[in-house]
Amino acid sequence: MKHSVSEVKLSNGSKGLLIHVPDATVMSFYISFRAGDYLAPQDKWEAPHLMEHLILDANEDFPRGRDFQAEFERNGAYSNASTSTHNITYEAECADFEWQRILKCMVLSVTKPLFLKDEFHAEVGNVREELVSRSNSHFQQLSLALRSAYGLTAATYQKRLEMVDNVTLEDIIEHYKNTHYASNMRFVIAGKMNPTRRAQIKAILGGAELPKGRGRKKLPHEKPKGLKTPLYIPNDTVENIYFYFDTFMKRRMNDKELHAVSLVNSMLTETLHSRILGAAREKGLVYSMSSNIAYDIDYTNWWFGAQVQPKNARGLFDIIISELQKIHDGKISPEDLKAAKQYRLGRFQRSAQTVSGIAAGYMWRYFFEDIVDDYLSTPKHIKAVTKRQIVDSTRELFAEKNWGLGVLGRNDRRPANRLAEQLSILW
């Protein structure tokens, strides 16, 4: 979908992106504050999450949260919010004809929350239900436990449930005052734009009644440490072994490197004919498998994960090891490279078919580091990836020997130890 993007900086210290999508019939809004988990005391971990829930409840114009939601959604608009390690992000999407009303509703909720005591108690119950529901995901449980074991900012849902009652309404109000100020706010808005609409958006956001503050909150510096022994979580209720393993580089990869490793990641696991997942399915070893690249200020990591029957685990790991070693040895045919590029190009085209999809293409990096990504040049960057870049980048991800394996299952930890020993040859 054709579009153009411009960055705007407002007098109150906030800034963001306005994305013009000429044929759009909807508007997508994302307003984000650096206000996530890392800014809360460890014993009050749920303060940001509970605050996010309460922001969407009662406010100065609507004395009940349900009344506000009824007003927000009356013409089919969508709203939500999310809390991550770094940010709290409020989002909405609506029909083009009511964009102004919806944006004003978002600003109202962010700037004029009432933080009512009865709604606080209700949201404590809702957050408990949410955490219990999420704790039923073995993958999420294992992922969070691994992040914590690496020394990163994380807590399992079970641990978070234990800490919910530590948070008071006063804690939430204090966290709001500490984080919700204009110079800590970023936004991405996508839809049909013209000079009048741009001016109206800037007036609404620039007039938001928030203190200016002292600039953007700084991100934490984290340096993950590999595991000497695998993390093992016993669970007698599951038949399969759940596993994740990570390998870390103690620096942030540059964009060319990230494109190269993303390309080989597609080659290995993202399709049913990929070199790891395709080969494993052909032998009946695993139903699905995932992997991806992640990065932060101080590190880059490549993770792999799946659930597999215990009897098939060693066979699956043999394939993983073999295919990664082939990549390290440069055994990538021109046909493999071309196919992976075509797949990445197709995925990019699909991601840009909706207004919210286009906004997402810019949003994460802009909220992370105030950089306007060169999104429209993505096809050019994909096509430019070389085999040499792939080999060098993947080798460096393993060169520091900073890695870890996590396993969740019904057996004792001996299978996890054997899998870690099998996997260790990669480092």
Q: How confident is the model at residue 351 (pLDDT cuts 50, 70, 90)?
A: confident
38 SS3 class: helix
Alpha carbons 205 and 254: distance in angstroms, whole number: 33
Instruction: Name every residue whose Cβ is closer than 8 Å to that of residue 97 and which is 6 or more positions away in sequence.
Output: 75
User: How much is the average pLDDT of 51-78?
Assistant: 96
Q: How many residues belong to the chain?
A: 427
- Please give the structure tokens belonging to residue 205: 């956001």
Instruction: Write down the H helix ranges in 329-377.
Output: 334-351, 355-369
Q: Is the dihedral of CA 44, 48, 54, 60 positive or negative?
A: positive
Let me know: does 17 contact 362? Beta carbons within 8 Å: yes
User: 């970023």: which residue's tokens?
Assistant: 186
Alpha carbons 211 and 140: distance in angstroms, whole number: 37
pLDDT higher than 80, residue 177: yes
Let me know: does 29 contact 92? Beta carbons within 8 Å: yes
User: How much is the average pLDDT of 205-210?
Assistant: 96
Question: What is the C-alpha end-to-end distance of the chain, expressed in Å?
Answer: 43
All structural domains of the chain, each given as residue ranges with its CATH number in brackets, are: 4-206 (3.30.830.10), 231-426 (3.30.830.10)
Closest CA to 35 of 185, 207, 223, 187: 185
Alpha carbons 14 and 76: distance in angstroms, whole number: 29
pLDDT higher than 90, residue 14: yes
pLDDT higher than 90, residue 411: no
Alpha carbons 247 and 427: distance in angstroms, whole number: 9
Alpha carbons 421 and 242: distance in angstroms, whole number: 17
User: How much is the average pLDDT of 388-409?
Assistant: 97
Let me know: does 306 contact 288? Beta carbons within 8 Å: yes
Q: How confident is the model at residue 240 (pLDDT cuts 50, 70, 90)?
A: very high
Instruction: Name every residue whose Cβ is closer than 8 Å to that of residue 197 and which is 6 or more positions away in sequence.
Output: 99
User: How much is the average pLDDT of 110-128?
Assistant: 97
User: How much is the average pLDDT of 141-162?
Assistant: 95
Alpha carbons 305 and 405: distance in angstroms, whole number: 10
Amino acid occupying residue 186? R
- Burial of residue 334 (CB within 10 Å: 0-12, 13-18, 19+) is exposed
Q: How confident is the model at residue 155 (pLDDT cuts 50, 70, 90)?
A: very high
Amino acid occupying residue 244? Y
Instruction: Provide the pLDDT for residue 167.
Output: 97
Give the count of beta carbons closer than 10 Å to the beta carbon of residue 266.
Answer: 20
pLDDT tens for residues 254-308?
A: 999 999 999 999 999 999 999 999 999 999 999 999 999 999 999 999 999 999 9
Q: Where would I find the beta strands (DSSP E) of 174-276?
A: 185-191, 231-234, 241-249
Let me know: does 263 contact 390? Beta carbons within 8 Å: yes
Let me know: does 310 contact 409? Beta carbons within 8 Å: yes
Instruction: Provide the pLDDT for residue 412.
Output: 85
Alpha carbons 155 and 37: distance in angstroms, whole number: 10
Amino acid occupying residue 426? L
Alpha carbons 63 and 77: distance in angstroms, whole number: 20
Alpha carbons 7 and 16: distance in angstroms, whole number: 6
pLDDT higher than 90, residue 425: yes
Instruction: Provide the pLDDT for residue 424.
Output: 97
Instruction: Provide the pLDDT for residue 1.
Output: 72
DSSP assigned state of 254: P
- Please give the structure tokens belonging to residue 181: 């100020």
Let me know: does 353 contact 1? Beta carbons within 8 Å: yes
User: How much is the average pLDDT of 199-204?
Assistant: 97
